[in-house]
Structures are given as C-alpha cells and as structure tokens.
C-alpha cells in the first residue's frame, strides 16, 4: 500500500495526540485525510487548524479513508466500529472498547450507579460478541488503543518476562487523577461508568497484556482472567466530605474510587486501584512480582525531569504534566508524554500492522477481556465484593 489514509473520529484530547503521533509515524506513508466529531463547531475548528477535510459523521468519511481512528466517547464506539467493519476499513479504537450506556432513550434522570449490574454485564457481553463478530467477519485490521501496553516500561517488562521465562505471581496497578478532559465524563450513559471503567481499564489492560505474554512465552496460549472481586465508592459524596475546591466533585452518577482483585487461569492474582482522588497530576504504574524478578513500571510520572517554578504565571503557557493542579513549586514534568506513556509506539505499531497485515501488540481480544472483566467487577461490587466469573468470549 503506497499510502495509508486515516480518518479521526473525535477531536478532544485523544484526537489531538493521535494526530500528532500519526504525523510522526515512520516506514509507512500515513496521511490523515478526514476528521469528524459529534459537535460541528469543534470538528470544523480542528479541520481548519490542521488542514484536514471535515465530515459530518463517520459514515460520510468512510469513502475517503483506509483506517478509522475512533477517539470519540465510549458510547459512540460501537457504531463507528460496525460501520468501518462493514465498509472493509481498518479500525483503531480508543479505550475503553465499549460499555453499557443505559437503556435505549436514557435521559438525564438515568442513574447507572443505581441500575442493576447483572443486566449490564449481559448487555455488554452481547455488545462485545457483536463487535468481535463484525470485525472478524470483515477480516479488517483492529488496534485497541491501550497506551499502557506501549509504554517503554511495560515493553521492557514484556522483554524480561519473555526472555527470562518468568512466572508472574502477582501484580498491582493504578491509574488515578483528578477528573477527566472529556466533557461527558461522570455521566454513566456516555462513559459507561466511573473510575473502574474510565481509569481502571488502563492498568488492567497492561496487567492482562503481561499475563498474555507470559502464557504465550510458556505454552503458546495466553493466560486469561477467570474471576474478579471488586468494590467501588463515591468518596466525594460522603456527608462528611470536606470540599476545599481542589478535587472535582461534579459527577452525575459514577463512582470516584474503585478496586479490583483479579484471579487468572493459573491461580495467580492482580490488584487494580483507580480513583479521581489524587492531586498533583496523573499517578500511573504497574508493579510486577515474579518468581525470578520484580519490576516497577512507571507510566506517569516517570521521574525524568523535576522543575521548580516560584511564580505560576511564568509557566502559564507551558505544559508540564496531565492533570497537575498547580505550576508552582517543584513539579515532575513530562518531557514527552507521547513517548513515556506509549502513544507514539502505539500508533507506530498500528500503522505498521495495518499496512503489512501484521497483528498489533494490543488487539481486539485484549479489549474484549478488559471490558468483560470490568463489568464483572461492577456485578461483584453490587454483591459487596463477592467473586464473580469473568465471561470467556
């Protein structure tokens, strides 16, 4: 293929850094030939700024692209995936892959936190089956955009596990920070849940990936999750919560803290913590405890640079780190988050595989297992932490 044409759906935070990374891809001639978004004014502004043709929706964009890059909110993912698959187009889908967004026609009075979780899991499983069937029937490229997997620290741990023959006994991972850049985050019918799905998908994805790597290195088969126990909380809604204005609290119907305990086919375990209750920037890591080594995979902050600023206004137009609450004092800055958080390697892998027919490091199967595990976790939480089987699709 002489040129790989990519169309981006969604022009928020993810759409912006996807465009930046796509334009840095080497070895494959990539051209971003279209952009769309649910909001007309934002897609038009994005197109003008970057010199990209603007389309009203994904369907109109399909004839002008070879790959659809879905950076839209989770509730819009399935429609884009099915449309692209039917048209024979490659697909990149941001995390989380999909979710449950309420019954048809759900409005502002819908509260996902109060809705029964068993039917949610059943609906999500059917949605995952529908997505997987459409992609496999079409035989198109699919990249599940979980950047944790492509972070340099996780990729180095992949090498360690593969080459040393390690048995991973337990892992712990976390993603926590104050809120989200998405305007619909905090509303279940758009986001599919709160911290557990919106943030927990990241460390869980990295953890599931490393167990898959371990299994394939050992006997050629991935080691998959079989059960989960979980608890969620709404800490900022407690009657005794003292709101000093530093932590976001304007969530409609989601949890702001979540904990998952995952058991794998081989009996080993992993724990995932996630929350909205962290000041000072993003807090992301995965720690691996194996029978022959121990590794701390720092995603953010990585400790590459600390900077001290006595006056906040001096750094007003300087980006230091995602979700950092102040530019004053000592700050662990991010010199290049597209590299340290894996975004550049992710898009490089996706474009190379889309062009050559290869299988990406982060594929549809991993996205399916991640979402299935998280919705089983919501069922567990409803049952006060009881162990719940993870559906095996």
Give pLDDT tens digits for 107-156. Answer: 999 999 999 999 999 999 999 999 999 999 999 999 999 999 999 999 99
d(CA 274, CA 197): 9
Domain ranges in the chain are 4-146+345-363, 148-336+371-389
Question: Comparing C-alpha atoms, which of 169, 200, 201, 159 is closest to residue 361?
Answer: 159
* Topology annotation, domain 148-336+371-389: Dihydrodipicolinate Reductase; domain 2 (3.30.360)
pLDDT at 312: 87
d(CA 278, CA 283): 8
Q: What is the DSSP string of 122-178?
A: HHHHHHHHHHHHHHHHHT--EEEE-GGGGSHHHHHHHHHHHHHT--EEEEEEEEE-S
pLDDT at 100: 98
pLDDT at 1: 56
pLDDT at 275: 97
Question: Comparing C-alpha atoms, which of 138, 101, 104 is closest to residue 120?
Answer: 101
Structure tokens belonging to residue 20: 């930046």
pLDDT above 70: percentage of residues in the chain: 100
Question: Comparing C-alpha atoms, which of 263, 155, 248, 268 is closest to residue 198?
Answer: 248
Structure tokens belonging to residue 30: 């990539």
* Topology annotation, domain 4-146+345-363: Rossmann fold (3.40.50)
Check if 4-146+345-363 and 148-336+371-389 are the same fold: no
Which stretches of the chain score pLDDT less than 50?
Answer: none
| Burial class of 261 by CB neighbour count within 10 A (0 to 12, 13 to 18, 19+) | middle
pLDDT at 325: 82
Structure tokens belonging to residue 296: 């701390």
HSE, CB side, 13 Å, CA atoms: give it for residue 135: 25
| Burial class of 236 by CB neighbour count within 10 A (0 to 12, 13 to 18, 19+) | middle
State the virtual CA torsion across 75, 260, 146, 344 in degrees, nearest 10: 130
pTM of the model: 0.96
């Amino acid at each position: 293929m002489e040129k790989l044409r990519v169309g981006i759906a969604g022009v928020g935070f993810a759409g912006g850094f996807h465009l930046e990374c796509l334009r840095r891809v080497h070895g494959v001639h990539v051209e971003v030939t279209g952009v769309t978004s649910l909001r007309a004014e934002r897609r038009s502004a994005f197109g003008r700024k970057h010199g990209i043709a603007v389309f009203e929706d994904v369907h109109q964009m399909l004839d002008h692209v070879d790959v659809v890059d879905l950076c839209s909110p989770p509730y819009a993912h399935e429609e884009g995936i099915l449309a692209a698959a039917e048209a024979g187009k490659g697909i990149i889908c941001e995390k989380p892959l999909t979710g449950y967004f309420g019954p048809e026609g759900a409005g502002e009075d819908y509260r996902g936190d109060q809705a029964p979780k068993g039917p949610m899991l059943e609906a999500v499983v059917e949605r995952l089956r529908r997505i997987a069937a459409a992609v496999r029937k079409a035989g198109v490229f699919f990249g599940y955009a979980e950047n944790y997997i492509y972070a340099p620290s996780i990729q180095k741990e992949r090498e360690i596990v593969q080459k040393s023959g390690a048995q991973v006994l337990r892992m712990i991972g976390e993603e926590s920070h104050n809120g989200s850049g998405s305007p619909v985050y905090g509303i279940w019918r758009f986001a599919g849940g709160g911290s557990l799905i919106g943030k927990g998908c990241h460390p869980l994805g990295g953890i599931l990936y490393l167990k898959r790597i371990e299994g394939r290195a050992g006997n050629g088969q991935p080691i998959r999750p079989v059960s989960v126990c979980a608890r969620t909380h709404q800490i900022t809604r407690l009657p005794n919560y003292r709101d000093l204005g530093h932590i976001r609290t304007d969530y409609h119907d989601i949890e702001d803290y979540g904990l998952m305990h995952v058991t794998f086919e081989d009996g080993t375990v992993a724990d995932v913590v996630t929350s909205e209750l962290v000041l000072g920037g993003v807090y992301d890591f995965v720690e691996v405890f194996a029978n022959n080594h121990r590794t701390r995979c720092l995603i953010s902050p990585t400790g590459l640079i600390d900077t001290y600023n006595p006056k906040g206004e001096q750094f007003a137009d300087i980006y230091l780190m995602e979700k950092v609450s102040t530019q004053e004092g000592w700050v662990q800055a991010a010199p290049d988050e597209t590299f340290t958080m894996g975004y550049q390697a992710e898009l490089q892998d996706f474009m190379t595989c889309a062009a050559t027919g290869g299988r990406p490091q982060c594929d549809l199967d991993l996205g399916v297992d991640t979402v299935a595990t998280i919705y089983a976790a919501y069922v567990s939480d409803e049952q006060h932490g009881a162990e719940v089987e993870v559906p095996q699709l």
